[in-house]
Structure 1
Amino acid sequence: SWNHTPQQIADLTEELIETTKAFNDHIASLSSNLTVEGVLLPYIDFENESQLLINQLFFYQYVSSDKDIRDASTAAEELFSEKMIEQSLRTDVYEVFKKLQEKVDSGMLSIASKEHQLFLSKTMLGFRKNGLHLPEDQRQVVKSYLSKLKELCIHFSKNANEENGYILFSKEELEGVPKSTVDSFEQVDKDGVQLYKMTFKYPDIFPVSGFANNETTRKTVYLGNGDKCKANNVILEEIIALRYKLAKLLGFNSFSDYVLDETLAQNVTTAVSFLTDLRRKLTPLAQIELEKLSEFKGAEVFKWDFKYLENKMLSKQYQVNETEIAEYFPMESTIEKMLAIYEKLFDLEFQPVLTNTSVWHEDVRQYLVLIGEGSNKKFLGVIYFDLHPREGKYGHAANFGIAPGYAKRDGKSRAYPITALVCNFSKKTESKPSLLKHYEVKTFFHELGHGIHDLLGRTEVARFHGTNVPRDFVETPSQSFEFWTWEKSILKNLSSHYLTNESLSDTLIDNLVSTKHVNGALHALRQLHFGLFDLAVHQLEDDESLELLNISRLWNNLSNEVSLISSGNYTVDSYGSFGHIAGGYESGYYSYFFSEVFGDDIYYTLFKDDPMSVENGRKYRDIVLSKGNSEDIMDNLKLLLGREPTSDAFLKEYGLDK
């Protein structure tokens, strides 16, 4: 259920801490006659069975409308993380596993399950990455670094989620912004003047940035949005310094080396070379795109101009109007038809839970998911949709795994996955239903791709379930699913005007599809800025580099140099709201491009000729999506594609194949 009080969150967290300590005490007491059945399997079971409650208690901080509950959830995660770091650094537990590993290596013990073998291997690697092989004094330093890092990352995230800034504009300053957006703004009387309150939530800021005719308005939005989380700037400086020190203490050249050895890239050199080469190839194309924008404006293009000019260009040259397109994607019918696509491809059924639901907010939808046909249908898991913004809620779009699936010890039954999509789409108004912009439809497909990956997981061990794959593969399924939002036949079926129920016309679909790569190189360079910044701050190799690091200067210089678009000599430290860098993607933002190579290859090979190929949908499900990280990713990709993966489709998508 989702009705925990702040006190219950605190009490349950304390119970989890005590239970974990008692379990590890038991493992540590097993000094002799070590067996797989006595050590490894109970350890796996305990980890499997703990995940649901842990994830649920800490999820509240991202979605609860009650600040007391959000604060309790944050405090619980801080306390639990601190105590779990202590548990992860227990040398007595490490010694037990070390002896177990030695017995396996010598042939005295055997592990039948490949997943269980992998679990032991990953556990031993985790012990080493926590410094269990170091002397006591150094282990204490590692502990202090890990504890402080977790605390700082939690606060970074909380500051971003709790951000509630706004800008007041007059009606004249909002000229050009869609009326439905302006009408949704809270009105404030200031000195007898009626002003409109624009928050920095997506449904507010995107239409103003993209349609306000007044350049001063757009610049004000750009500068305000860039500085909305300034408290996080200092936090990030401390995070970067601690990560550098941790990596050095553990014997790595840099924090990137510490992180990337378990990815498909395997090392920072590969990641940096990949992004640098992509930047080199994209820059000439981006320069041509920027010249066209400059000609369109008749003057220099600044960052606050980009989306506005692009929208004007799309409307004038391609007859594509974002607001008009959205009228064909009312949320209710779009969700229904989108789910039908996944149902057909992967043999699923989504059943909405309309009564006796247990959710954390009245806006949340709950679905039971089944797999199979007719009498062979089986329960697969649960997915939640939390789709609209509210105060204190996570401000971007993401999929949150609440409970992983895994095989229970009886060998017959399973624990089923629970997953949640958290987005921020506009709510319905008195005159219109919630209408999705095309980019929001794409976002929905992307995040649901993560949810599907989570639901389809069929592993023995929770640690390898669903999206628990290498960071530079986790985006692959979602990126492959984005292609469906550009296919003519799919768009025809997916669209339904909220007044007439008519689908998009062939002409409008053709126009929309023709815009897919408009300014594609410029968009890609913006993402490359994030990826290159992320790697730059995490590949510091000596104290002097750390001492000389000026994060603000690096961020702003890279922004102007890589994206090619000027910020008008303004210093905008928007890294304070770069949530990925403190939320699990540290030294991993390159993954969005790296994963895309595989995602594009999968779509071109399996679905480009027939987007609704049931045969290939099942292959994708069974060979890749269901396996999580339980088998070698590259081996499964080769099996799926019938060959080694290539970058041909990726290069073609960016116009780099010529």
Structure 2
Amino acid sequence: MSFPAPPQAPPVWNHTAEQILAEADQLIAANTQLYDTIAAITEPTFENVFAPFVKAENEERGPESIITFYQQVSTDKAIRDASTQAEEKLQQAGIEASSRIDVYRVWEKLNANAAFQAKLDDESKRLLKKVMTTYKRDGLSLPEAARKEVKDLKKKYSNLTLLFNKNCNEELGFLLFTRAELDGVPADVVDGFPAEGDKVKMTYKYPDVLPVLKYATSEETRKRAFLGNQNKLPANEKLLAEIIAVRAELAQKLGYETFSDYVLEERMAKTKENVLSFLGDLKGKLKSGGEAEIAELLKLKNAHLKARGLPESTHYYIWDHSYYSNLMIEQQYLIDDQKISEYFPIQSVVPKILHLYETLFNLKFIQVDENRSVWHEDVIQFSVWKLDNAEPEFVGWVYFDMHPRDGKYGHACNISIVPGYTKADGSANYPVTVVLCNFSKPTKDKPALLKHSEVNTLLHEVGHAIHDLMGKTQHSRFHGTGVSWDFVEAPSQMLEYWTWSPSELKSLSAHYVTGEPITDDLVASLIKTKHVNGGLAGLRQLHFALFDMTLHTVKSAEEATALDLDALWNDMREEISLFENGDTVSKGYGSFNHIGGGGYASGYYGYLYSEVFAADIYYTLFKADPMNVANGIRYRDTILRRGGSRDEMDNLVELLGRAPNSAAFLTEMGVAN
């Protein structure tokens, strides 16, 4: 099959700092002009209000995302700073625009027009409802003095969260260790640490710190690495406290009891009571299993200490867990994570993952080798095509940025850059989406090798990108991952099951030297480890989720300010996740950018909540036949294609043929229904 030139060029990634700021100013000016025009309309209609608003919203999202994306990936600090400044300008201007009572009055009049409402299709009605709800949630129905207070709080909130994220991205901390202190850590990892005199430098980037926590024989080394990583962002401690207080005050001004009530009004879970009930029920079901797992791990720890001639312990500390959980898997399941990684060199895993998605969803990814449009030489670019018809249909662009560097976003994520939508002339605007990860770089002797958990992470993040690429909606705000935040993880979580399916896992493998696939015996042993210490893994997520809910169910700024974040973080971790803190106080909330600035405030529960839907979809459609293409396409068109243009529960009922339930999820978590 031959492929024509894509009908839409990719973005151009050659902005200067000055251009970034100039484009931000141009976008703000255009938006201000639109709002001024709308505000002057006395007889609002589809043609003079709704259509131009939709057109502007659709068209501005891509340019905004491009200039604000540089702060996550650029190697040039001036460009990163300009990108952050541009985002601050855009957010402040957006707050001003959303606070305009004159524009709101026009929308109120339009919304009350029955003839206008009758002309709208279902997706446009959904958009209109979202617009009016957003105005209410922005405080436009309040008296003038209260509206000003809300606007000022939103501006303060925006600045605080931007600074929190900037601190996360710019973090450059490290620890120095002797090679003896790093005994047990793979030589490839230690050899990659820069030398500092007679020591080596371990940064807090994932490829550095995680192997130290997982493999260092010395408990003192693991303790230093853990605490250093937890406490690497002291500036964010005060920022998070301020952010929580502003959120609480903002919720109060808008008429909500707590910030959770404000957030959850727009989520599938609906209320804080529903969320806390879900989390509390799960905690009760996981606790006994977690306690049994801790007991076994403590036995293993003491056997290990005894074999090394060291005194036994009655304590299982938080910095013990990665090490002894891995040791258990090595000893009881004969799994060596480093050996497993030899079968997953990144340069073959990426195309193999794409081939899996090509098969399941009837797609084709074509790598761009010449005239690439990228922001860094390491980035890989693909055009993506759907093959449902005789002629291939272009669906968008996807980028992969796989390795860490200074100034780059430090975790793994997917970022939608340009949304898909239907233009005024009926033609399509195609999405552009990015997969950002921080996997180890290749060395002079070996390519970049992925551990099984990293293969799982990559499949998950590419799953978000697929959601983005498969979306096909009229309006950009509903495109792809533009769904409820407590559903957005479900499609990617569902796709993680493929890394635990024997034939699919084998198909993703190819030894970096021989090219041979991973052996059946290794696959069988690896799959047996899926739920090893699963109770503790679930309790760890519950710690994050319940900490988040505790911060955002306070009823006033004063109550928020009175919170002792150190005590909450550490005491809740001991009580919920069952790991001991010893004599230490750690401040991991300072780098918890999911709730500090990443949009998951009172929403971290969504990672567990959405797993209910993910498990139900997989067990119903794919468990018996993971590569069932007919079900893959049905899922693609029912869930992914529609994005947020329709209620997620309606889509789930249509796909499953019934209301979703938690049976499969509880089976996966290892607890009784």
Letter in 1 for 2:249: K
- Tell me, yes or no, if structure 1 residue 291 matches structure 2 residue 291: no
Alignment partner, residue 269 of structure 1? 273
Aligned mates of 1:41, 1:521 — CA distance in 2: 51
Alignment partner, residue 545 of structure 1? 559
Alignment partner, residue 105 of structure 2? 95
Aligned counterpart for 1:613 among listed residues 628, 632, 648:
628
Aligned counterpart for 1:425 among listed residues 430, 436, 439:
439
Contact 2:246/2:557 (<8 A) preserved: no
Alignment partner, residue 231 of structure 2? 227
Aligned mates of 1:552, 1:150 — CA distance in 2: 24
Question: Secondary structure, in 3 states, of the residue corresponding to 1:9?
Answer: helix
Percent of residue pairs identical: 48
Aligned mates of 2:610, 2:624 — CA distance in 1: 22
TM-score, L = length of structure 2 = 0.96
Contact 1:35/1:109 (<8 A) preserved: no
Aligned mates of 1:64, 1:354 — CA distance in 2: 21
Aligned mates of 2:282, 2:391 — CA distance in 1: 47
Letter in 1 for 2:93: K
Q: Tell me by how many angstroms 1:108 deviates.
A: 6.2
Letter in 1 for 2:216: A
Contact 1:540/1:546 (<8 A) preserved: yes
> Where does 1:222-261 land on structure 2 (aligned, <5 Å)?
222-261=226-265
Contact 1:294/1:301 (<8 A) preserved: yes
Letter in 2 for 1:402: I
Alignment partner, residue 327 of structure 1? 342
Greater CA deviation, 576-585 or 366-375?
A: 366-375
Question: Secondary structure, in 3 states, of the residue corresponding to 1:410?
Answer: coil
- Residues 1:547 and 1:225: Cα distance change in structure 2 (over 3 Å): closer
Contact 1:28/1:93 (<8 A) preserved: yes
Q: Tell me by how many angstroms 1:375 deviates.
A: 3.1
Contact 1:480/1:603 (<8 A) preserved: yes
Aligned counterpart for 1:66 among listed residues 64, 76, 80:
76
TM-score, L = length of structure 1 = 0.98
Aligned mates of 1:109, 1:591 — CA distance in 2: 33
Contact 2:402/2:436 (<8 A) preserved: yes
Question: Secondary structure, in 3 states, of the residue corresponding to 2:262?
Answer: helix
- Tell me, yes or no, if structure 1 residue 172 matches structure 2 residue 180: yes
Alignment partner, residue 142 of structure 1? 150
CA-based RMSD of the aligned residues comes to 1.0
Alignment partner, residue 118 of structure 2? 110
- Residues 1:638 and 1:364: Cα distance change in structure 2 (over 3 Å): same
Letter in 2 for 1:214: S
Letter in 2 for 1:175: D
Contact 2:342/2:511 (<8 A) preserved: yes
Aligned mates of 2:174, 2:142 — CA distance in 1: 49
Aligned mates of 1:483, 1:501 — CA distance in 2: 24
Aligned mates of 1:288, 1:398 — CA distance in 2: 33
Q: Tell me by how many angstroms 1:373 deviates.
A: 4.5
Contact 1:157/1:583 (<8 A) preserved: yes
Contact 1:111/1:117 (<8 A) preserved: no
Question: Secondary structure, in 3 states, of the residue corresponding to 1:570?
Answer: coil
Alignment partner, residue 29 of structure 1? 40
Contact 2:460/2:496 (<8 A) preserved: yes
Q: Tell me by how many angstroms 1:188 deviates.
A: 1.0
- Deviation track 1:608-653 (CA, whole Å, cap 9, x = no partner) reads 0001000000010011110001011111101101111010000000
> Where does 1:329-478 land on structure 2 (aligned, <5 Å)?
329-373=344-388, 375-411=390-426, 413-478=427-492
Question: Secondary structure, in 3 states, of the residue corresponding to 1:385?
Answer: strand
Aligned mates of 2:240, 2:117 — CA distance in 1: 46
Question: Secondary structure, in 3 states, of the residue corresponding to 2:118?
Answer: coil
Aligned mates of 2:388, 2:471 — CA distance in 1: 18
Gaps of 5+ in 2: 1-11, 303-312
- Tell me, yes or no, if structure 1 residue 47 matches structure 2 residue 57: yes
Question: Secondary structure, in 3 states, of the residue corresponding to 2:366?
Answer: strand
Aligned mates of 1:646, 1:548 — CA distance in 2: 39
Aligned mates of 1:644, 1:245 — CA distance in 2: 37
Q: Tell me by how many angstroms 1:51 deviates.
A: 0.6
Question: Secondary structure, in 3 states, of the residue corresponding to 1:419?
Answer: strand
Aligned mates of 1:436, 1:238 — CA distance in 2: 39
Question: Secondary structure, in 3 states, of the residue corresponding to 1:627?
Answer: coil
Aligned mates of 1:503, 1:379 — CA distance in 2: 32
- Tell me, yes or no, if structure 1 residue 186 matches structure 2 residue 194: yes
Greater CA deviation, 373-382 or 642-651?
A: 373-382
Aligned mates of 1:67, 1:172 — CA distance in 2: 36
- Tell me, yes or no, if structure 1 residue 38 matches structure 2 residue 48: yes
What is the aligned residue count? 650
Q: Tell me by how many angstroms 1:31 deviates.
A: 1.4
Question: Secondary structure, in 3 states, of the residue corresponding to 2:442?
Answer: coil
Q: Tell me by how many angstroms 1:505 deviates.
A: 1.1
Letter in 2 for 1:386: D
Aligned mates of 2:506, 2:371 — CA distance in 1: 35
Question: Secondary structure, in 3 states, of the residue corresponding to 2:641?
Answer: helix
Q: Tell me by how many angstroms 1:374 deviates.
A: 6.4
Q: Tell me by how many angstroms 1:492 deviates.
A: 1.5
